[in-house]
């Protein structure tokens, strides 16, 4: 008999630990190997436990039971009969059980609070070594089958997932609001964008790629095959739990990869719903969710994944790169984005900037954070921004900050700022939500270039304002921070705004608008804002690798 692989041995150890078997029986390696094969026993046991209420004990783990599909079916039927009238159908269990109940934990459950009230709202399992390893192994087992589907079939399944998200949009909106505190209109818009992104990539994957031009080599024909990477680990932040997940999993799945999704600890709700619906639409093991903390994310990066897509802080991105080794990594990090306002800017410029700066309570990497004006329109711009900020309503136009740490960051940076002019908008949280993480909108003006509010990304409804003597200084101030994600220019003369847009160091530049995005256009940063592309057909290349094939034709 062959010696068990190191992965099989590891699963054996985990099984024995979970089932409290010591010492391990001789047949345990065979069972562990079975768990890792394409039949997907781990998924079988999880389904029996969570969907039918049927427990699997050490006594059930006889290798004889798992040597054929017929014996597996007989085993499941027998266990279901033992469970009696308590056994529920998959549909009934889904309706009665919160999604988090299906996620086992190696650690104590995390207590999640509602950012609107500051009160506990639920507890969620924190995935540890066992859960991450099991999820990656299940995705690995499903990877070949998912990649083997024709583009038409993968597209059909992605469209079904988009339909499920749309059909259950009320559930997704409620879950997104509970975790983030967003106003209902914002949450609904992001659920709609999630479904739209899935549909976009369902179409994009069927367009194919342009082949290499012919005649490159005498008597040869060459072409390029685009192949999936395998299993992709996706780590998304708390500011856009569902939308950021869609940005990453849409192209990854369309490209033929399976995905293990790790949401932020404070916002696992929609990721768990997405994994539930993906199991029905895409098939088992194609998209799995491992809720957890930063340690869970580190475990995922260091696991048997083929690539990592990370959205988060610069510090987190550097840690991912250090842990990922030679595997492919895509990073979308901070923004601290500038907006250059010229004297002839449109009359609604200040309203547009404040609307973008307070969307999602300013917790958007691409939000405008630093307004830079020429001195001749500086006072007018500060007054216009202050007036527009005062008109924004808490709970209607923007929600609270996501968590206590983010609220503390806001307080710390504002306290350290040397702004000589400060406008603080009135703040009146909705009744009963006074103890939430609400923070007022602020305009901080007359700031030195090295002020903390300028150098650090506040990630809140805060705009700083700086004055420049001319276009050259405005560009220098705009490009004077390490981040280079997005920027905007506001003015009436096409030659001026286009010239400035070309000089701004950013992956995305808007003219007379800000924070407007669509699935068809790429988004990605430079420098401390990371590297890689989200959205558009270009994002598919983040999750595929090219293979050049050259064939001799004719007699030459």
Question: What are 359's two structure tokens?
Answer: 């969307």
Annotated catalytic residue, options 190, 365, 508, 542 = 365
Query: What value, to the nearest 5°, has the Cα angle with vertex 302 and ends 299 and 303?
Result: 80
- Phi/psi of residue 527, nearest 5 degrees: 55, -130
135: helix, strand or coil = helix
Nearest of 286, 430, 459 to residue 360 by alpha carbon: 459
Strands 462-468 and 483-484 turn out to be unpaired
Cα 543–chain centre separation: 15
Mutual angle of helices 241-254 and 269-281, in 10-degree steps: 30
Strands 483-484 and 526-527 turn out to be antiparallel
Question: What are 416's two structure tokens?
Answer: 């350290």
Strand locations in 238-346 (E): 258-262, 287-289, 307-311, 328-332, 337-341
Nearest of 140, 191, 119 to residue 162 by alpha carbon: 191
Annotated catalytic residue, options 138, 176, 186, 332 = 332
By the 8 A CB rule, do 330 and 308 touch? Answer: yes
Q: Which residues of 71-105 are buried (b: 16+ CB within 10 A; e: fewer)?
A: ebeebbeebeeeeeeebbeeeebeeeeebbebbeb
Question: What are 87's two structure tokens?
Answer: 């056994």
Count CA within 13 A, CB hemisphere, residue 30: 11
Q: Report the distance separating Cα 115 and Cα 438, nearest Å.
A: 8
Mutual angle of helices 151-167 and 269-281, in 10-degree steps: 130
Long-range pairs for 209-213 at CB < 8 Å and ≥24 separation? 212/548
Query: What value, to the nearest 5°, has the Cα angle with vertex 97 and ends 93 and 103?
Result: 105
332 in active site? yes
By the 8 A CB rule, do 217 and 167 touch? Answer: no
By the 8 A CB rule, do 211 and 223 touch? Answer: yes
- Catalytic center residues: 332, 365
């Amino acid at each position: 008999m062959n010696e068990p692989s190191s992965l099989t041995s590891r699963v054996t150890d985990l099984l024995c630990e979970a089932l409290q078997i010591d010492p391990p029986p001789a047949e345990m390696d065979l069972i562990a190997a079975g768990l890792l094969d394409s039949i997907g026993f781990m998924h079988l046991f999880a389904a029996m436990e969570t969907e039918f209420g049927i427990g699997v004990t050490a006594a059930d783990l006889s290798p004889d039971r798992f040597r054929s599909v017929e014996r597996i079916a007989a085993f499941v039927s027998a266990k279901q009969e033992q469970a009696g009238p308590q056994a529920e159908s998959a549909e009934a269990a889904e309706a009665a059980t919160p999604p988090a109940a299906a996620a086992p934990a190696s650690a104590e459950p995390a207590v999640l609070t509602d950012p609107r009230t500051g009160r506990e709202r639920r507890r969620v399992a924190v995935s540890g070594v066992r859960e991450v390893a099991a999820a990656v192994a299940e995705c690995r087992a499903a990877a070949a089958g998912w990649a083997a589907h024709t583009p038409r079939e993968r597209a059909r399944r992605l469209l079904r997932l988009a339909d499920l998200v749309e059909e259950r949009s009320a559930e997704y909106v409620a879950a997104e609001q509970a975790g983030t505190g967003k106003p209902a209109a914002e949450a609904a818009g992001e659920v709609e964008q999630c479904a739209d992104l899935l549909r976009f990539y369902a179409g994009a994957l069927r367009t194919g790629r342009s082949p290499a031009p012919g005649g490159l080599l005498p008597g040869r024909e060459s072409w390029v095959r685009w192949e999936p990477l395998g299993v992709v680990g996706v780590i998304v932040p708390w500011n856009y739990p569902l939308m950021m997940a869609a940005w990453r999993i849409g192209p990854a799945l369309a490209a033929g990869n399976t995905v293990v999704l790790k949401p932020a600890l404070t916002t696992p709700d929609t990721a768990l719903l997405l994994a539930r619906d993906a199991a029905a639409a895409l098939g088992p093991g194609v998209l799995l969710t491992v809720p957890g903390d930063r340690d869970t994310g580190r475990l995922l990066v260091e696991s048997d994944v083929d690539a990592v897509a990370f959205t988060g802080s610069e510090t987190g991105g550097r840690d991912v790169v250090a842990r990922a080794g030679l595997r492919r990594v895509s990073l979308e990090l901070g923004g601290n984005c500038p907006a250059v306002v010229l004297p002839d800017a449109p009359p609604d410029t200040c309203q547009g900037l404040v609307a973008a700066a307070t969307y999602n309570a300013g917790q958007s990497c691409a939000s405008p954070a630093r307004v830079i004006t020429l001195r001749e329109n500086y006072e007018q711009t500060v007054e216009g921004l202050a007036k527009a900020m005062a008109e924004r309503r808490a709970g209607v136009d923007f929600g609270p900050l996501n968590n206590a740490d983010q609220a503390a960051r806001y307080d710390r940076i504002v306290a350290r700022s040397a702004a000589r002019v400060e406008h603080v908008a009135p703040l009146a949280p909705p009744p009963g939500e006074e103890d939430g993480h609400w923070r007022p909108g602020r305009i901080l003006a007359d700031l030195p270039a090295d002020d903390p509010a300028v150098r650090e990304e506040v990630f809140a409804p805060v705009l700083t304002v700086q004055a420049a003597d001319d276009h050259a200084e405005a560009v220098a101030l705009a490009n004077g921070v390490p981040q280079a994600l997005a920027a905007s220019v506001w003015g009436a003369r096409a030659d001026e705004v286009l010239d400035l847009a070309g000089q701004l160091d950013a992956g995305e530049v808007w003219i007379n608008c800000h924070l407007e995005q669509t699935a068809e256009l790429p988004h990605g940063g430079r420098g401390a804002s990371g590297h890689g592309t989200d959205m558009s057909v270009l994002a598919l290349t983040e999750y595929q690798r090219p293979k050049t094939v050259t064939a001799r034709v004719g007699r030459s």
